[in-house]
Amino acid sequence: MPFSMDDTITATATAPGRGAIGVVRISGPSAWNIGLAIFRSKSGGLKRIKPRYLYYGHVVNPANSEQLDEALAVFFRGPHTYTAEDMIEIQSHGSPLILRRITELALAQGARSAEPGEFTLRAFLNGRIDLAQAEAIADLVSSSSDAAIRQSLHQLEGTLSRQTKLANDAILRAMAPIEASIDFPEEEVPPVERRNIQQLIQSAQSIAAELLSGAERGRIAREGISCVIAGRPNAGKSSLFNALLQMDRAIVTAMAGTTRDTLEETALLGGVAVRLTDTAGITEIASDEAEAIGVQRSKTALDNAEIAILVIDSSLALCEEDTTAAHMLAEKGYGAARRPIIAALNKADMPHAVTAAALRSMLDAAGVQPFTIIETSAVEKTGLRELETAITQAALGDQFAEHAPIVARARHRDALLRASEALAEAQQTLISGAPLDFVAEDLREASARLSEITGFQVTEDLLTIIFRDFCIGK
Ligand code: GDP
């Protein structure tokens, strides 16, 4: 990828293939001259062209004045353009051949073919957007769901960048006095306050932690989440499974233990893809090989899922099988923050034999803290909306807001994780009373990792801060 910005680049900006119209972009110092050479409008030459106006004219070969196509063109003046350079966009008929000929004319006038992403790269190199925003543009172009578009737009608007910069600023402010005392030991610098530094590191840590929880939400929004449906035979697991999927996938009969195989299907609940697994038969002793495989699969699903729905038949008093199911979930770590359990008091259309309070104390005894308890009826289809909401809330957390920065890219998540590790190290080093050089080293590492997200020049930032906060060598 060339990093030179002295030359003028050109490329077709619309998708390859035939279209009603196509757009050729030219960006760089000679963009206007090249544009004026190959696009002729009655409005005339350079002096009369106004930026951001749409001009009607013809694309012509300046060598022989031959007209290639009728076209519209917009001229843009840097730095208020996509690339922050002078630009021109020519809209012609969308034949791939015409578009190729137009770029060839631009090339003949001294432009160079743009590399993939080079217009956006220039926007970044010219400081109009940061790396995270550049990536958001790429994500927007390739987004395939509404949620993904919303995420990318927020990132493009700079939510992720702003938070990252806040964390980085705190780190730089923590580093400034340390660096100053290291670099200029003889100079008069304010004494280094360890407590202050600790607080600044702490605030960077909490921003990073919040962003990381956003990373988790981003992953879930993109990849979905897995959810097992557990409970004693005949509680209505398969019925709820079907109701959530809005189709009859699992066979439902009044005979306990009908479902022998694990059923897995994905339902789109509140915009989140939830992979539901019906773990019917898990508590039973298999009487043949097929059943044994089914039970094994259910166990694997239980090992791997992130959320559990514990289905209780509320028309019957709680029994040992309910307790067994609760214990089984507790054993796998469900019912705590990391693996929430949603308890469904099913068959709510029938006379109640179980109250929420009774269920709660049974769960309590089993060591399970339910995320929430919801009354449902798989037959009458009540409480299903609430169940859906509970699943998405358990998956994404309460603070899930469309405006919260969502870290969608693994690259950002990695950088945040490594920055958090370095910050934790810095705290440790600071508390241990070790020399401040070591703390500075950890902080530099944390800052470098965060800077990877936005592509800041860390050394320049740091220098600026040192010289702004202290009058070294006065
Ligand atoms: P599973 O063994 O836990 O998967 O339970 P099923 O989904 O197979 O349901 C067992 C029986 O309970 C079937 O006869 C269902 O029709 C019935 N059932 C399930 N959910 C409800 C409900 O909400 N209300 C009523 N009245 N019956 C239900």
| Residue 451 CB partners (closer than 8 Å, separation 6+) | 168, 457, 458, 461
Contact (Cβ atoms closer than 8 angstroms) between residue 241 and residue 227: no
pLDDT at 157: 74
* 164 Cβ below 6 A of ligand 1: no
**Among the three residues 129, 148, 181, which one is the final residue of a domain in this structure?**
129
Between CA 411 and CA 127 the distance in angstroms is 21
Residue 469 lies in a domain: no
Write the CATH number for 86: 3.30.1360.120
Residue 246 lies in a domain: yes
The phi and psi torsions of 225 (rounded to 5 degrees) equal -145, 155
Domain containing 57 equals: 9-129
pLDDT digits 0-9 by tens, 140-172:
666 555 666 666 777 777 778 888 989 999 999
Q: 379 CA to middle of ligand 1, Å?
A: 7
The DSSP string of 217-229 is: HHHHHHH-EEEEE
Q: Based on the fold, state whether residues 355 and 228 are members of the same structural domain.
A: yes
The closest-lying atom of ligand 1 relative to the alpha carbon of residue 278 is 4
pLDDT at 466: 35
C-alpha torsion angle, residues 200, 206, 209, 214 (rounded to 10): -120
Between CA 423 and CA 264 the distance in angstroms is 41
Distances (CA, A) of 313 to 24, 133, 298, 350, 389: 65, 51, 20, 10, 21
Q: Based on the fold, state whether residues 279 and 366 are members of the same structural domain.
A: yes
Residue 462 lies in a domain: no
Dihedral sign for Cα atoms in the order 172, 455, 3, 108: negative
Coil, strand, or helix at residue 440?
Answer: helix
Q: Based on the fold, state whether residues 310 and 333 are members of the same structural domain.
A: yes
- pLDDT above 70 covers a percentage of the chain that reads 81
Q: Cβ–Cβ contacts within 10 Å for residue 304, how many?
A: 12
Q: How far is CA 343 from the centre of its chain?
A: 29
Across 95-170, where does the E strand assignment appear?
Answer: 112-113
Q: Based on the fold, state whether residues 303 and 256 are members of the same structural domain.
A: yes
Q: Based on the fold, state whether residues 339 and 366 are members of the same structural domain.
A: yes
Write the CATH number for 418: 1.20.120.430
Q: Based on the fold, state whether residues 207 and 224 are members of the same structural domain.
A: no
**Confidence band (pLDDT; 50, 70, 90) for 57?**
very high
Q: Based on the fold, state whether residues 260 and 337 are members of the same structural domain.
A: yes
Q: Does 319 score more than 70 pLDDT?
A: yes
pLDDT digits 0-9 by tens, 194-212:
888 999 999 999 999 988 8
Residue 339 lies in a domain: yes
What is the bridge-based pairing of β-strands 87-94 and 112-113?
unpaired
Q: 284 CA to middle of ligand 1, Å?
A: 18
Q: Based on the fold, state whether residues 372 and 436 are members of the same structural domain.
A: no
Contact (Cβ atoms closer than 8 angstroms) between residue 38 and residue 20: no
Question: Bigger pLDDT: 26 or 42?
Answer: 26
**Domain count along the chain:** 3
Q: Based on the fold, state whether residues 226 and 241 are members of the same structural domain.
A: yes
Residue 3 lies in a domain: no
Residue having the nearest C-alpha atom to atom 8 of ligand 1? 252
Q: 254 CA to middle of ligand 1, Å?
A: 7
Q: Does 40 score more than 90 pLDDT?
A: yes
CA-based nearest residue to 442, from 429, 454, 452, 451: 429
Residue 473 lies in a domain: no
* 325 Cβ below 6 A of ligand 1: no
Contact (Cβ atoms closer than 8 angstroms) between residue 18 and residue 96: yes
Q: Mean pLDDT for the chain?
A: 83
Q: Based on the fold, state whether residues 71 and 194 are members of the same structural domain.
A: no
The DSSP string of 349-373 is: TSPPS--HHHHHHHHHHTT---SEE
Residue 466 lies in a domain: no
Residue 460 lies in a domain: no
pLDDT at 18: 86
pLDDT at 147: 60
Contact (Cβ atoms closer than 8 angstroms) between residue 404 and residue 152: no
**Among the three residues 70, 96, 129, which one is the final residue of a domain in this structure?**
129
Q: Based on the fold, state whether residues 390 and 257 are members of the same structural domain.
A: yes
* 310 Cβ below 6 A of ligand 1: no
What is the side-by-side strand order in the sheet with 341-346? Answer: 263-269, 272-278, 225-231, 307-313, 341-346, 372-375
Q: 460 CA to middle of ligand 1, Å?
A: 66
Write the CATH number for 328: 3.40.50.300
Tokens of 461: 């930032």
Q: Based on the fold, state whether residues 345 and 325 are members of the same structural domain.
A: yes
pLDDT digits 0-9 by tens, 323-334:
999 999 999 999
